[in-house]
Amino acid sequence: MSTESRTWTGPSAPERLQLLRQAKSIAIVGASDKPSRASYFVSTYLQSSTNYRLYFVNPVVKEILGQPTYASLADLPESPDVVDVFRKDADLPGVLAEAIAAGAKTLWLQLGSWNETVAADAEAAGLDVVMDRCVKIEHARFHGGLHLAGFNTGVISSRRQMLA
């Protein structure tokens, strides 16, 4: 969907920060064991840099980052606070149905993922919704790891230092 036709307005930065602060568990739907995939990169970051209980949802892979995977959200040992989705657009209505049935609080669609019908249905079911944003980038930005624009502030500069 092009940005011109976007009418849904998501939570503000302070509201996204609050969602991440309140969350204790994150289920990553479409988690991958392949290091080249975005879901793997996000999972690695969350596992090493946060205290969230992570659940990897992938019906094909048995283990990701040393943790067992789950075939579906229904198989999780608890209701996840956040369902972070790495699936194609056509799969989103089914993921939402699973998230609602599992008692999730927030549906979080990753960068590039935007579906206003799914967002409206999620909100009607009482879920908070975040679309087209990365949990890793948002978490790092809110916790000092990234500049407001999303860039790491620890970059070594090629600018000459002025000597006193």
Instruction: List, as one string, the DSSP characters of the chain.
Output: --GGG-------HHHHHHHHHH--EEEEET--S-TTSHHHHHHHHHHHH--PEEEEE-SS-SEETTEEEESSGGGSSS--SEEEE-S-GGGHHHHHHHHHHHT-SEEEEPTT---HHHHHHHHHTT-EEE-S--HHHHHHHHTTSS-TTS--TTPPP-SPPPP-
Rounded to two decimals, the pTM is: 0.85
5 vs 155: which has the higher pLDDT: 5
Domains by residue range for the chain, with CATH: 12-142 (3.40.50.720)
What is the per-residue pLDDT for 141? 85
- Give whole-number Cα distances, 108 to 99, 153, 157, in Å: 11, 25, 34
Decide: 73 and 101 in contact? Cβ < 8 Å: yes
Tokens 């000459």: give the residue: 160
Buried residues in 47-80 as b, exposed as e (16+ CB within 10 A): eeebebebbbbbeeeeebeeeebbebbeebeeeb
User: 108: which strand partners?
Assistant: 84, 130
- Average pLDDT of the residues in 50-70: 97
Instruction: Give me the chain's average pLDDT, please.
Output: 88
pLDDT digits (tens, 9 = 90+) for 100-142: 999 999 999 999 999 999 999 999 999 999 999 999 999 988 8
